[in-house]
């Protein structure tokens, strides 16, 4: 965890706000799927601030977004998944990045957290059978796997410029 400075708090708050906007207003959503770029601020938090900060940014954005701009009933399981997503990206991408680390981070996020855990939460929340729901969410996860892989690689290439402009 980086030192709690004004810079860290400000950056975390800005990334949290950006995640809320991207998730709630600039994503394609259905009751069982969501496609968008809300992962970008969480990945930036992971790259710049580390695993715990990224987890907090993701969880706080999920909680605040659900309270301020609800799209359905609030379910704490999604907040847990959001925290784990930030933690996952931070553990794999902070402080070193490589293609293999990016691939592992995206794979854990998309397969374990999004496909399995979020499908479980949706199944519990809406009473939908788990396996058919899992199958229906496979295309979303496959698409987002590819998108996240490309976008995170681009962010990693831009990381030195980001760090320079933030310092």
The pLDDT, as a whole number, for residue 1 is 55
Residues 158 and 68: their CA atoms lie apart, in Å, by: 32
The pLDDT, as a whole number, for residue 167 is 80
Q: What is the pTM for the complete model shown?
A: 0.95
Residues 90 and 143: their CA atoms lie apart, in Å, by: 22
The pLDDT, as a whole number, for residue 118 is 96
Query: Where would I find the beta strands (DSSP E) of the chain?
Result: 28-29, 34-35
pLDDT in tens, the chain (167 residues): 567 899 999 999 999 999 999 999 999 887 678 899 999 999 999 999 999 999 999 999 999 999 999 988 899 999 999 999 999 999 999 999 999 999 999 999 999 999 999 999 999 999 999 999 999 999 999 999 999 999 999 999 999 999 999 88
Q: Which helix (H) or strand (E) holds 144?
A: helix 130-166
The pLDDT, as a whole number, for residue 34 is 85
**CATH number for the domain running over 6-166:** 1.10.1760.20
């Amino acid at each position: 965890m980086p030192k709690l400075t004004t810079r860290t708090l400000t950056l975390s708050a800005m990334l949290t706000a950006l995640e809320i906007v991207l998730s709630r207003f600039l994503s394609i959503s259905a009751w069982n799927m969501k496609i968008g770029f809300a992962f970008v601020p969480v990945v930036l938090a992971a790259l710049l601030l580390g695993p715990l900060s990224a987890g907090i940014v993701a969880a706080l954005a999920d909680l605040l977004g659900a309270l301020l701009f609800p799209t359905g009933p609030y379910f704490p399981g999604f907040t847990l998944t959001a925290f784990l997503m930030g933690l996952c990206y931070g553990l794999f991408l902070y402080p070193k990045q490589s293609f293999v680390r990016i691939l592992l981070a995206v794979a854990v996020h998309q397969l374990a957290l999004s496909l399995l855990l979020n499908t479980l939460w949706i199944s519990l929340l809406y009473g939908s059978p788990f396996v058919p729901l899992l199958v229906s969410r496979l295309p979303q996860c496959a698409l987002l796997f590819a998108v996240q892989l490309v976008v995170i690689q681009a962010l990693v290439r831009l990381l030195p410029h980001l760090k320079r402009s933030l310092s």
